[in-house]
Chains A and B, each alone.
Chain A
């Protein structure tokens, strides 16, 4: 067991650690999402204005949170990677990207499903929706950029710069409902004021959000293990693992 947490920045020590963490986060994710979905369909009360259709927010809002949060985490890993020149941080950013893109797409898609009965339209060119769409393009651009650079070191650092440039978009998404007075409603959950929302609804949403957190961590760890094996295939410890499985 390494005595110092920084020793986990080496792929060789991180690989087994990630392997031990994956089952825990997978189980937590399955339990929380199952409980969250049950509560959102059967426990949370019917909304007095929007009826049953509002229940999609229990997926929509946590997915939108995750889409922004994962981008920030990737940008954070990019800073770590550029400053300390650590290989693993670029691998973490790369492992998170597909999950982030998926949550961005889910946020947009569930928003469209909610928008059709409530607003009467699948899509509006509102500030928050447009900036969330840009976020999806940023994720896809990042994936395309690192995919098309053969030199790993250059790809890691080019991806890091792209992520840091795109980070400007995150506060724009977050504050868009306050800065522009367009169709998307303002946030109901506030840090600094009383939440104007039924308590059961709030709890359900938080359970779903924690479930999505656990899911993201589990999937990212599984993916980063594959990336480590691919990239470090020349190292002797990887040869041993691959040899064991073959």
Chain B
């Protein structure tokens, strides 16, 4: 069982490495969106510090959502998704593997570059650290929840816009607690309570969402 999980993570990572521009476009989108706000709002440090948590998280949400369409699309087009569904391994496990690979490609880089973006917003070191923690815990939830939406809208004409409508409302709790952790640390309250909530949500999402995604994929392949 675990072999199948590792196999599909490895397979998706190899495919992603062969098409590296896809990884970079998501990351660049995130960097550009976050860099637009100081230009639009003005470079006052007090204002930037105030809006930084929200801007970083909204940027992460949008970047993660845009990357979702790549999650199953290629496999669906070339027919390998059918084979994955027909394989004797549990589909929810394979889905989990695909989501983990997708997060390693799209979510993890966001968390890694976020401190550099935080410096643009004049955040202090301990706030930067909490921001990495929050993104590390939060972005996998985004990938897990988003996978359900990606599976439901697979192959539809209006897929992209519809996906946003389905997935963004589900992202709101992650946004609230993720940005809350950064903000609470910045105001001296400590972000551990928010991080614990994010951790709890991640555990629930890890257990529950692969089944929903697997069920949605089965509908598509019927």
Known contacts A130-B172, A145-B153, A148-B158; A161/B165 CB under 8 A: no
Q: Does A37 contact B (CB under 8 A)?
A: no
In the complex, the answer to whether A158 meets B152 with C-beta atoms within 8 Å is yes
Determine the distance from Cα of A206 to Cα of B117 in the docked complex, in whole angstroms: 54
User: Chain A contact residues (Cβ within 8 angstroms of B): what range?
Assistant: 10 to 19
Residues of B within 8 A of A130 (CB): 172, 176
Residues of A within 8 A of B165 (CB): 137, 140-141, 144
Minimum Cβ distance to chain A for residue B14 (Å): 30
Residues of B within 8 A of A153 (CB): 222
Q: Does A17 contact B (CB under 8 A)?
A: no
Give residues of chain A (170-220) contacting chain B, Cβ–Cβ below 8 Å. Answer: none
In the complex, the answer to whether A165 meets B148 with C-beta atoms within 8 Å is yes
Determine the distance from Cα of A149 to Cα of B212 in the docked complex, in whole angstroms: 18
Residues of A within 8 A of B215 (CB): 161
Residues of A within 8 A of B157 (CB): 148
User: Chain B contact residues (Cβ within 8 angstroms of A): what range?
Assistant: 20 to 34
In the complex, the answer to whether A154 meets B153 with C-beta atoms within 8 Å is no
Q: Does B219 contact A (CB under 8 A)?
A: yes
Q: Does B50 contact A (CB under 8 A)?
A: no
Q: Chain A CB within 10 Å — which of B157, B158, B165 has the most?
A: B165
Q: Does B32 contact A (CB under 8 A)?
A: no
In the complex, the answer to whether A134 meets B162 with C-beta atoms within 8 Å is no
Minimum Cβ distance to chain B for residue A17 (Å): 30
Main DSSP-derived SS at the B contact region: helix
Q: Does A166 contact B (CB under 8 A)?
A: yes
In the complex, the answer to whether B156 meets A148 with C-beta atoms within 8 Å is yes
Main DSSP-derived SS at the A contact region: helix
- Pick the contact of A154: B166, B168, B219 (CB < 8 A): B219
Q: Does A57 contact B (CB under 8 A)?
A: no
Q: Does B66 contact A (CB under 8 A)?
A: no
Known contacts A134-B169, A141-B165; A161/B148 CB under 8 A: yes
Q: Does A164 contact B (CB under 8 A)?
A: yes
Residues of B within 8 A of A145 (CB): 152-153, 162, 166
Known contacts A141-B165, A148-B162, A165-B148; A154/B172 CB under 8 A: no
Q: Does B24 contact A (CB under 8 A)?
A: no
In the complex, the answer to whether A158 meets B169 with C-beta atoms within 8 Å is no
In the complex, the answer to whether B219 meets A157 with C-beta atoms within 8 Å is yes
Which residue on B lies nearest to A166, using beta carbons? Answer: B170
Q: Does B184 contact A (CB under 8 A)?
A: no
Determine the distance from Cα of A36 to Cα of B162 in the docked complex, in whole angstroms: 40
In the complex, the answer to whether B216 meets A138 with C-beta atoms within 8 Å is no
Q: Does B74 contact A (CB under 8 A)?
A: no
Determine the distance from Cα of A148 to Cα of B212 in the docked complex, in whole angstroms: 20
Residues of B within 8 A of A148 (CB): 156-158, 162
Determine the distance from Cα of A149 to Cα of B172 in the docked complex, in whole angstroms: 25
Instruction: List 17 additional A-B contacts (Cβ < 8 Å) besides A141-B165, A161-B148, A161-B215.
Output: A130-B176, A137-B168, A140-B165, A141-B166, A144-B165, A145-B166, A148-B156, A148-B162, A154-B220, A154-B222, A158-B152, A158-B216, A158-B219, A161-B216, A165-B170, A165-B212, A166-B170
Q: 5 tightest CB-CB pairs across the interface, nearest first?
A: A137-B169, A157-B219, A141-B166, A158-B152, A141-B165
- Chain B residues at the A interface, C-beta cutoff of 8 Å: 148, 152-153, 156-158, 162, 165-166, 168-170, 172, 176, 212, 215-216, 219-220, 222
- Chain A residues at the B interface, C-beta cutoff of 8 Å: 130, 134, 137-138, 140-141, 144-145, 148-149, 153-154, 157-158, 161-162, 164-166
14 contacts between A and B (CB under 8 A): A134-B169, A137-B165, A138-B169, A141-B169, A145-B153, A145-B166, A148-B158, A148-B162, A153-B222, A158-B216, A161-B219, A162-B148, A162-B166, A165-B170
